[in-house]
Amino acid sequence: MEAKIAGKDAIHNKAKLDWTGHSLPDVSAGPLTVIEPKITVSKSVAPNNVQAGDTVTYTIVVSGHDTTARVVKLEDILPTGGITYVQGSLKHISGVTPKLSVSGNGSGFTAEWNTLDPHETSTLTFSATVNANVVSGQRIRNDAVVRWTSLGDPSPITTNYANAVQRDGSGSHTNNQLNNYKTQNRAVLRVEKPHVTKTLIATSIDDTNNTNTQAVIGETATYEITVTIPQGHTPAARLLDWMGDQSSPDQLAYVSSSIPVVNSSALMVPGLTNAPVYEGTTTQRTVRWDFGDIVNTDTNPTTDETITFAVVTRVLNVNNNIQGVSVANHAQLKWSRNSLSNVATNQDVKVIEPKLTTSKTAVVGGLGGNPGDPVTYTIIIQQDAASATDAYDVTLDDIIPAEIGSPVLTNVVDTDTINPVSSANFQLSGNTLTTPLPFDMKKDLGRTITLTIDGILQGPFKANQKITNTNTVRWTSLPNSSGPLTPNPTSSPYTYERTGSRSTTDGQLNNYSKTSSTSFPVNTVDLAKQLGFDCDINRLMDKIDSSKTFAIDAGEANGQLFLAVASVGFDAEVVRLLSARRTGHIDHTTWVRPILQALGGYQFPKIRVRNEGNEKAVHTRWAFVFNVPRYALGLRFVAEGDCADGRLDLCCFRGGRWWNGLR
């Protein structure tokens, strides 16, 4: 019959009687609703993750629905090359009993039911063994196909109409037929894949300040790689180990590895002892072990067959290896048809870095910045509070300014009493301080190393000159490890310790250095001008080259020598206010604040001045005693002054107001 669909189509039947000259009205029966039988089938397998030699059980459930299905037939053809039917294992478990038939070679079977009434079910099971030649990761698909009919009789219902036949599952569409009474369901077996693990064994330094899960730049870390091979075949197997994230340059470099070993004679690995090969760029190297066609003949699924070996890596001197960063190391097995295992990643090792700090001070004695004054530099070296570990091969470099004559390293004090640093570690040659014997500094925040350098301030100076001195401390991540670290079979350009060289060729980042500076001003602005010195270096060299010498007087006030001027009154008050708050260099602008402060509060008391040979005192409000005629800003208070005549010149202002000083 023509295709009609259950629930969608209705059948109408009409009749009409006509005879000569007469007719009766049409009559009809119906509508007749089309109903159809329906069968569902489900198929499952357990276990569904298997190895060669495992036995699995398939379960098939066939179910009827709202209308009786007739001549129901199930066919199950086992896939070749994956599983083998266990003879005698096909069983009817529950529900309507079918007629069972197994092919002679066990490659398939059928089950037949005369009818399956609404909501009747039938459950079958059978067993199969996973073949020894299955390949790791293989998927074994097995389908159960069910066909049925609407009536159970293939012959025509009536001879009056050729298409008056039942509906079945043949799929034929002859004469507009619809024979779609067929359904199927699939169960999939998954052959297990190899599994890779990577664990950290050790780092080359393991102590209080650098534990087994920490590493400094240049240190080595050893990992163990274990590959679990499932029973069966794993052809063209190769293990890849890459040293860092694939999206960035490597964090590690391959150093060496042990010969892989297997834990069972059932595991045959033809390339087990092959040496690894290296691929990729010099900044992103991958190490590969070619194991070949691996065969695991074991049949006991409760034991694992493994390949195990150790890999030694080095933490590279690259920009992204900094304090607190985890170094990544990955391994993966590949085999035929681009099959892949899991990616085993280990990030147990974190980078730690040492950090030192230094400070420097200068103390100027005597007149506080004149030629001949003693100068004492104090340098302190210690671990920074943010340091994570020990610093090695520490050096101190310092070029003492040329204005400091005869510098001497007078003292070295180390609070470490077990292995202290001494003056023997340092060398001061001329004005250059170096460290011929570098030293280590453990992560001990209480330890300080203090150096004292003494010298004499010597001229000549420029106006408003500041004497600045800077020292530099450098250190390394490893002890006694200069130059490229070996072995380096992958030719990585970054197998260096980290230093303070600032080089980008011996590794990418060498920032282990710290500087400290100190400055102080000299007090000879006007004296230099009086003596004819200026900022022209050529004229200064000419004066020195002339080898001319001259004498200059010095005055004494309150037990201290002075070369330019001593004052009493408003000028002295300004100097006192400046000295009370002075912390560093001064220039002409530095005087503004103390001058304004003195203008607001100084009372200009009377001053009595007596000079040698004159018994009568001079009454005044300001008093200057000059050795040289020039004063600040080029002012000349005593035009005839001579700094080499053995006399001091007196200048007094009797007025008690500040503008008296401007006349």
pLDDT value, residue 152: 87
Q: CA 132, CA 55: separation in Å to the nearest integer?
A: 12
CB 31 within 8 A of CB 7: no
Domain ranges of the chain: 1-35, 39-191, 195-351, 358-476+508-521, 526-569+604-662
Q: Which residues, including other chains, have CB under 8 Å from residue 586's CB and lie 6 or more apart? A: 464, 521, 578
Per DSSP, the three-state class of 528 is: helix
pLDDT value, residue 647: 81
> What are phi and psi for residue 662, nearest 5 degrees?
-95, -10
Q: What superfamily does domain 39-191 belong to in CATH?
A: ntegrin, alpha v. Chain A, domain 4 (2.60.40.1530)
Q: For residue 154, give the DSSP letter.
A: -
Using pLDDT thresholds of 50, 70 and 90, give the confidence band for residue 15.
confident
Q: In Å, how far are 249, 277, 585 from 280, measured between CA atoms?
A: 11, 10, 58
473-503 pLDDT, tens per residue?
999 999 998 889 999 998 899 999 999 999 9
Task: Choose among 100, 111, 91, 106: nearest CA to 39.
Answer: 111
pLDDT value, residue 560: 79
pLDDT value, residue 584: 64
Position 105 pLDDT exceeds 50:
yes
243-284 pLDDT, tens per residue?
876 666 689 999 999 999 999 999 999 999 999 999 887 667
pLDDT value, residue 454: 96
Position 233 pLDDT exceeds 60:
yes
pLDDT value, residue 428: 97
HEC states along 555-609?
A: EEECCEEECCEEEECHHHHHHHHHHHHCCCCCCHHHHHHHHHHHHHHCCCCCEEE
Please report which helix (H) or strand (E) contains residue 532, including its range.
Answer: none
Using pLDDT thresholds of 50, 70 and 90, give the confidence band for residue 530.
low
Q: How many helices (H) and strands (E) does the chain have?
A: 4, 46
CATH of 358-476+508-521, one of 3.40.50.10310, 2.60.40.740, 3.60.21.10, 1.10.3720.10: 2.60.40.740
Mean pLDDT of 545-554: 69
pLDDT value, residue 285: 80
Q: For residue 161, give the DSSP letter.
A: -
Other beta carbons within 10 Å of 301: 17
Dihedral sign from CA coordinates of 274, 276, 277, 279:
positive
Per the model's pLDDT, the better-predicted residue between 229 and 104 turns out to be 229
pLDDT above 70 covers a percentage of the chain that reads 87
CB 524 within 8 A of CB 459: yes
The pTM of the whole model exceeds 0.85: no
Mean pLDDT of 613-640: 74
332-376 pLDDT, tens per residue?
999 999 999 999 999 999 999 999 999 999 998 876 677 788 999
Per the model's pLDDT, the better-predicted residue between 632 and 31 turns out to be 31
Q: How does DSSP assign 169-238, residue by residue?
A: SS---GGG-----EEEEEEEEEEPPPEEEEEEEEES--BTTB-TTEE-TT-EEEEEEEEEE-SEEEEEEE
Position 632 pLDDT exceeds 70:
no
Least confident of 385-389, 538-542, 568-572, 610-614: 538-542
139-192 pLDDT, tens per residue?
999 999 999 999 988 777 777 776 778 899 988 887 667 889 999 999 999 999
Position 113 pLDDT exceeds 60:
yes
Task: Choose among 36, 112, 34, 110: nearest CA to 72.
Answer: 112
Task: Choose among 647, 312, 302, 371: nearest CA to 522.
Answer: 371
Angle between helices 570-581 and 592-601 (to 10 degrees): 130
Same fold, 39-191 and 195-351: yes
Beta-bridge partner residues of 290: 238
Tell me the two tokens of residue 656.
Answer: 């008690």
Position 211 pLDDT exceeds 80:
yes
Per the model's pLDDT, the better-predicted residue between 109 and 575 turns out to be 109
496-522 pLDDT, tens per residue?
999 999 999 999 999 999 999 999 888
Mean pLDDT of 620-628: 82
Using pLDDT thresholds of 50, 70 and 90, give the confidence band for residue 1.
very low
Please, what is the average pLDDT of the chain? Answer: 88
CATH of 195-351, one of 2.40.50.100, 3.30.360.10, 2.60.40.1510, 3.40.50.150: 2.60.40.1510
Per DSSP, the three-state class of 539 is: helix
Position 660 pLDDT exceeds 90:
no
